């Protein structure tokens, strides 16, 4: 693995650690993020809408320029909603 790749991976891990700490310190964050994702699912620019509302209404901040960790978080929200739909 190249040094640039290792550096990128370390940054993603660090960002995810910060997010996980926020979720563990305030369990309402996860619930609120899923509610927001559910509300915007299927809309044009759904991820942007989710990111904007999550940033505005929780302690999670998703900047205008998304990092790999931000993209991964938004994709995981989609996965959670896919799993939720599969149950019904």
Which has the closest alpha carbon to 59: 13, 12, 25, 11?
Answer: 25
pLDDT of residue 66: 93
Query: From CA 85, how far away is CA 45, in angstroms rounded?
Result: 20
pLDDT of residue 12: 87
Residues of the chain with confidence (pLDDT) below 50 = none
Query: Can you tell me whether residue 20 is helix, strand or coil?
Result: helix
pLDDT of residue 48: 97
Q: pLDDT tens-digit profile of 65-74?
A: 998 889 999 9
pLDDT of residue 45: 96
pLDDT of residue 1: 59
């Amino acid at each position: 693995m190249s040094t640039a790749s290792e550096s990128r991976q370390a940054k993603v891990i660090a960002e995810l650690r910060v997010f996980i700490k926020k979720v563990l310190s305030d369990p309402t964050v996860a619930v609120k993020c899923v509610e927001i994702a559910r509300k915007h699912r299927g809309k044009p620019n759904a991820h942007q809408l989710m990111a904007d509302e999550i940033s505005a209404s929780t302690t999670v901040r998703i900047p205008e320029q998304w990092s790999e960790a931000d993209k991964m978080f938004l994709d995981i929200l989609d996965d959670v909603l896919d799993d939720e739909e599969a149950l019904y």
